[in-house]
Copies of this chain bind each other. A is one copy, B any other.
Protein backbone atom coordinates (compact mmCIF):
# COMPACT_ATOMS: atom_id res chain seq x y z
CA UNK A 1 0.00 0.00 0.00
CA UNK A 2 2.98 2.26 -0.18
CA UNK A 3 5.89 2.93 -2.47
CA UNK A 4 7.62 -0.29 -1.55
CA UNK A 5 6.67 -1.73 -4.91
CA UNK A 6 8.93 0.86 -6.49
CA UNK A 7 12.49 0.12 -5.41
CA UNK A 8 13.45 3.82 -5.71
CA UNK A 9 15.33 3.09 -8.90
CA UNK A 10 18.78 1.67 -8.41
CA UNK A 11 21.57 3.29 -10.42
CA UNK A 12 23.99 0.71 -9.02
CA UNK A 13 27.18 1.79 -10.65
CA UNK A 14 29.94 -0.75 -10.43
CA UNK A 15 32.68 -0.24 -7.92
CA UNK A 16 35.36 0.95 -10.35
CA UNK A 17 33.21 3.72 -11.80
CA UNK A 18 32.19 4.73 -8.30
CA UNK A 19 35.84 5.06 -7.43
CA UNK A 20 36.49 6.92 -10.67
CA UNK A 21 33.79 9.40 -9.68
CA UNK A 22 35.29 9.74 -6.23
CA UNK A 23 38.67 10.49 -7.73
CA UNK A 24 37.16 13.14 -10.00
CA UNK A 25 35.48 14.66 -7.00
CA UNK A 26 38.74 14.57 -5.09
CA UNK A 27 40.38 16.48 -7.93
CA UNK A 28 37.63 19.05 -8.37
CA UNK A 29 37.40 19.75 -4.65
CA UNK A 30 41.06 20.66 -4.62
CA UNK A 31 40.83 22.49 -7.92
CA UNK A 32 43.86 20.67 -9.25
CA UNK A 33 45.38 21.95 -12.47
CA UNK A 34 46.95 20.35 -15.45
CA UNK A 35 50.13 18.80 -14.08
CA UNK A 36 49.13 18.25 -10.46
CA UNK A 37 49.67 14.86 -8.87
CA UNK A 38 47.02 12.47 -7.70
CA UNK A 39 47.58 10.10 -4.80
CA UNK A 40 49.42 6.97 -5.85
CA UNK A 41 47.82 3.55 -6.09
CA UNK A 42 48.52 2.43 -2.57
CA UNK A 43 47.26 5.70 -1.15
CA UNK A 44 44.03 5.36 -3.10
CA UNK A 45 43.62 1.81 -1.88
CA UNK A 46 43.56 3.17 1.65
CA UNK A 47 41.66 6.33 0.77
CA UNK A 48 38.74 4.53 -0.81
CA UNK A 49 39.10 1.19 0.96
CA UNK A 50 39.16 -0.91 -2.18
CA UNK A 51 41.59 -3.35 -3.67
CA UNK A 52 44.39 -2.57 -6.01
CA UNK A 53 42.58 -4.05 -9.00
CA UNK A 54 39.59 -1.82 -8.44
CA UNK A 55 41.72 1.29 -8.17
CA UNK A 56 43.48 0.40 -11.36
CA UNK A 57 40.23 -0.10 -13.24
CA UNK A 58 39.09 3.30 -12.04
CA UNK A 59 42.31 4.88 -13.24
CA UNK A 60 41.91 3.24 -16.66
CA UNK A 61 38.47 4.81 -16.93
CA UNK A 62 39.82 8.28 -16.28
CA UNK A 63 42.73 7.65 -18.57
CA UNK A 64 40.41 6.57 -21.38
CA UNK A 65 38.63 9.88 -21.09
CA UNK A 66 41.91 11.71 -21.24
CA UNK A 67 41.54 13.17 -17.78
CA UNK A 68 44.69 11.71 -16.29
CA UNK A 69 48.07 10.49 -17.44
CA UNK A 70 49.98 7.79 -15.64
CA UNK A 71 53.71 7.17 -15.51
CA UNK A 72 55.80 4.48 -13.87
CA UNK A 73 58.90 4.82 -11.81
CA UNK A 74 59.93 7.07 -8.91
CA UNK A 75 58.14 10.38 -8.98
CA UNK A 76 55.67 8.67 -11.27
CA UNK A 77 52.01 8.07 -10.64
CA UNK A 78 48.96 9.76 -12.09
CA UNK A 79 48.65 13.44 -12.86
CA UNK A 80 45.82 15.59 -14.12
CA UNK A 81 46.11 15.72 -17.91
CA UNK A 82 44.49 18.16 -20.25
CA UNK A 83 42.18 16.40 -22.71
CA UNK A 84 43.78 16.74 -26.13
CA UNK A 85 41.85 17.86 -29.18
CA UNK A 86 42.78 14.60 -30.81
CA UNK A 87 41.32 12.53 -28.07
CA UNK A 88 38.15 14.61 -27.99
CA UNK A 89 37.77 14.09 -31.71
CA UNK A 90 38.18 10.33 -31.38
CA UNK A 91 35.66 10.10 -28.59
CA UNK A 92 33.17 12.16 -30.56
CA UNK A 93 33.81 10.15 -33.72
CA UNK A 94 32.78 7.05 -31.79
CA UNK A 95 29.41 8.66 -31.23
CA UNK A 96 28.87 9.48 -34.88
CA UNK A 97 29.97 5.99 -35.82
CA UNK A 98 26.39 5.02 -34.99
CA UNK A 99 24.66 8.07 -36.45
CA UNK A 100 25.19 7.73 -40.19
CA UNK A 101 26.09 11.20 -41.34
CA UNK A 102 25.88 12.15 -44.98
CA UNK A 103 28.18 14.38 -46.99
CA UNK A 104 25.26 16.77 -47.30
CA UNK A 105 24.97 16.98 -43.51
CA UNK A 106 28.59 17.91 -43.12
CA UNK A 107 28.43 20.52 -45.83
CA UNK A 108 25.35 22.10 -44.37
CA UNK A 109 27.53 22.74 -41.33
CA UNK A 110 30.57 23.82 -43.27
CA UNK A 111 28.60 26.33 -45.32
CA UNK A 112 27.43 27.92 -42.10
CA UNK A 113 30.70 27.81 -40.15
CA UNK A 114 33.71 28.05 -42.42
CA UNK A 115 32.88 31.54 -43.74
CA UNK A 116 32.38 32.67 -40.17
CA UNK A 117 35.80 31.33 -39.23
CA UNK A 118 37.43 32.99 -42.22
CA UNK A 119 35.90 36.33 -41.36
CA UNK A 120 36.91 36.18 -37.73
CA UNK A 121 40.46 35.26 -38.64
CA UNK A 122 41.07 38.18 -40.98
CA UNK A 123 43.81 40.40 -39.67
CA UNK A 124 44.50 38.32 -36.57
CA UNK A 125 47.15 35.98 -37.95
CA UNK A 126 50.89 36.32 -37.59
CA UNK A 127 53.17 36.43 -40.61
CA UNK A 128 54.35 32.91 -39.83
CA UNK A 129 50.82 31.60 -39.82
CA UNK A 130 49.99 33.35 -43.06
CA UNK A 131 53.16 31.99 -44.63
CA UNK A 132 52.28 28.46 -43.56
CA UNK A 133 48.82 28.73 -45.04
CA UNK A 134 50.20 30.13 -48.25
CA UNK A 135 52.61 27.24 -48.53
CA UNK A 136 49.80 24.75 -48.03
CA UNK A 137 47.70 26.49 -50.67
CA UNK A 138 50.55 26.61 -53.16
CA UNK A 139 51.23 22.90 -53.13
CA UNK A 140 50.08 21.01 -56.19
CA UNK A 141 50.36 23.80 -58.78
CA UNK A 142 49.33 21.33 -61.48
CA UNK A 143 45.93 19.71 -61.92
CA UNK A 144 45.75 16.08 -60.89
CA UNK A 145 46.61 13.55 -63.57
CA UNK A 146 44.96 10.57 -61.91
CA UNK A 147 42.22 9.80 -59.45
CA UNK A 148 44.89 8.81 -56.97
CA UNK A 149 46.56 12.19 -57.33
CA UNK A 150 43.29 14.01 -56.96
CA UNK A 151 42.72 12.19 -53.71
CA UNK A 152 46.06 13.46 -52.44
CA UNK A 153 45.22 17.01 -53.43
CA UNK A 154 41.87 16.80 -51.77
CA UNK A 155 43.44 15.66 -48.53
CA UNK A 156 45.97 18.49 -48.75
CA UNK A 157 43.10 20.90 -49.10
CA UNK A 158 41.55 19.49 -45.95
CA UNK A 159 44.84 19.97 -44.15
CA UNK A 160 44.58 23.62 -45.09
CA UNK A 161 41.18 23.87 -43.44
CA UNK A 162 42.29 21.88 -40.41
CA UNK A 163 45.22 24.20 -39.89
CA UNK A 164 42.99 27.20 -40.28
CA UNK A 165 40.68 25.82 -37.60
CA UNK A 166 43.57 25.56 -35.16
CA UNK A 167 44.14 29.28 -35.43
CA UNK A 168 40.62 30.09 -34.32
CA UNK A 169 40.31 32.08 -31.13
CA UNK A 170 36.87 30.60 -30.67
CA UNK A 171 37.82 27.12 -29.51
CA UNK A 172 34.38 25.68 -30.07
CA UNK A 173 34.22 26.93 -33.63
CA UNK A 174 37.73 25.69 -34.24
CA UNK A 175 37.03 22.27 -32.80
CA UNK A 176 33.90 21.64 -34.83
CA UNK A 177 35.52 22.67 -38.08
CA UNK A 178 38.60 20.59 -37.33
CA UNK A 179 36.40 17.64 -36.50
CA UNK A 180 34.66 17.88 -39.85
CA UNK A 181 37.95 18.13 -41.70
CA UNK A 182 38.95 14.95 -39.92
CA UNK A 183 35.83 13.12 -40.93
CA UNK A 184 36.12 14.22 -44.53
CA UNK A 185 39.74 13.13 -44.59
CA UNK A 186 38.78 9.67 -43.41
CA UNK A 187 36.04 9.48 -45.98
CA UNK A 188 38.49 10.49 -48.68
CA UNK A 189 41.16 8.04 -47.59
CA UNK A 190 38.83 5.09 -47.65
CA UNK A 191 37.01 6.23 -50.74
CA UNK A 192 36.83 4.19 -53.90
CA UNK A 193 38.39 5.87 -56.87
CA UNK A 194 36.32 5.85 -59.97
CA UNK A 195 35.86 9.49 -60.86
CA UNK A 196 38.19 11.22 -63.32
CA UNK A 197 39.91 14.35 -61.99
CA UNK A 198 37.86 17.47 -62.47
CA UNK A 199 40.17 20.19 -63.76
CA UNK A 200 37.70 23.04 -63.49
CA UNK A 201 36.93 22.37 -59.84
CA UNK A 202 40.61 21.93 -59.04
CA UNK A 203 41.40 25.29 -60.57
CA UNK A 204 38.61 27.09 -58.73
CA UNK A 205 39.57 25.51 -55.42
CA UNK A 206 43.17 26.56 -55.76
CA UNK A 207 42.25 30.12 -56.68
CA UNK A 208 39.96 30.32 -53.70
CA UNK A 209 42.58 29.23 -51.23
CA UNK A 210 45.16 31.65 -52.56
CA UNK A 211 42.69 34.52 -52.61
CA UNK A 212 41.62 33.64 -49.10
CA UNK A 213 45.16 33.85 -47.81
CA UNK A 214 45.47 37.30 -49.36
CA UNK A 215 42.25 38.49 -47.77
CA UNK A 216 43.36 37.17 -44.40
CA UNK A 217 46.67 38.93 -44.70
CA UNK A 218 44.98 42.19 -45.67
CA UNK A 219 42.50 41.89 -42.82
CA UNK A 220 39.49 42.01 -45.12
CA UNK A 221 36.97 40.10 -43.06
CA UNK A 222 33.97 40.34 -45.34
CA UNK A 223 36.02 39.50 -48.40
CA UNK A 224 37.41 36.44 -46.61
CA UNK A 225 33.88 35.38 -45.68
CA UNK A 226 32.72 35.74 -49.26
CA UNK A 227 35.59 33.75 -50.68
CA UNK A 228 35.17 30.96 -48.19
CA UNK A 229 31.45 30.76 -48.87
CA UNK A 230 32.16 30.41 -52.54
CA UNK A 231 34.87 27.86 -51.82
CA UNK A 232 32.45 25.74 -49.84
CA UNK A 233 30.15 25.49 -52.82
CA UNK A 234 32.94 24.18 -54.99
CA UNK A 235 34.16 21.76 -52.34
CA UNK A 236 30.68 20.42 -51.87
CA UNK A 237 30.34 19.68 -55.56
CA UNK A 238 33.61 17.80 -55.44
CA UNK A 239 32.45 15.68 -52.52
CA UNK A 240 28.93 15.07 -53.69
CA UNK A 241 30.08 12.74 -56.42
CA UNK A 242 31.29 10.35 -53.77
CA UNK A 243 29.20 7.91 -51.87
CA UNK A 244 26.50 9.89 -50.14
CA UNK A 245 26.53 8.03 -46.89
CA UNK A 246 29.55 6.79 -45.09
CA UNK A 247 31.34 7.21 -41.86
CA UNK A 248 33.02 4.20 -40.44
CA UNK A 249 35.30 4.75 -37.56
CA UNK A 250 35.83 3.18 -34.23
CA UNK A 251 39.42 3.64 -33.38
CA UNK A 252 42.26 6.06 -33.63
CA UNK A 253 43.83 8.30 -31.07
Contact = CB atoms under 8 A, between A and B. Distances in A.
A218 to B, nearest CB: 22
A43 interface: no
Contacts of A95: 66, 83, 85, 87-88, 175
Contacts of A16: 60
Contacts of A176: 109, 176
Contact of A60 (B28, B60, B83, B106): B60
A66 B94 contact: yes
Interface string A224-253: 000000000000000000000000001100
Q: Which interface residue of A24, A92, A95, A120 has the most chain B CB atoms within 10 A?
A: A95
A170 interface: yes
A99 interface: yes
A108 B63 contact: no
Given A63-B61, A251-B24, A82 B56 contact: no
A172 interface: yes
A104 to B, nearest CB: 8
A208 to B, nearest CB: 20
Interface residues of A, number: 53
A28 B27 CA distance: 35
Nearest to A105: B170
Instruction: Kindly report how many copies of this chain are found in the complex they form together.
Output: 2
Contacts of A211: none
A186 interface: no
Contacts of A99: 171-172
B64 A96 contact: no
Interface string A84-100: 01011001101111111
A108 B66 contact: no
Contacts of A40: none
6 contacts: A17-B64, A25-B251, A91-B91, A91-B92, A96-B175, A109-B170
Interface of A: 16-17, 20-21, 24-25, 27-28, 34, 53, 56-58, 60-67, 82-83, 85, 87-88, 91-92, 94-101, 105-106, 108-109, 112-113, 116, 120, 170-173, 175-176, 180, 250-251
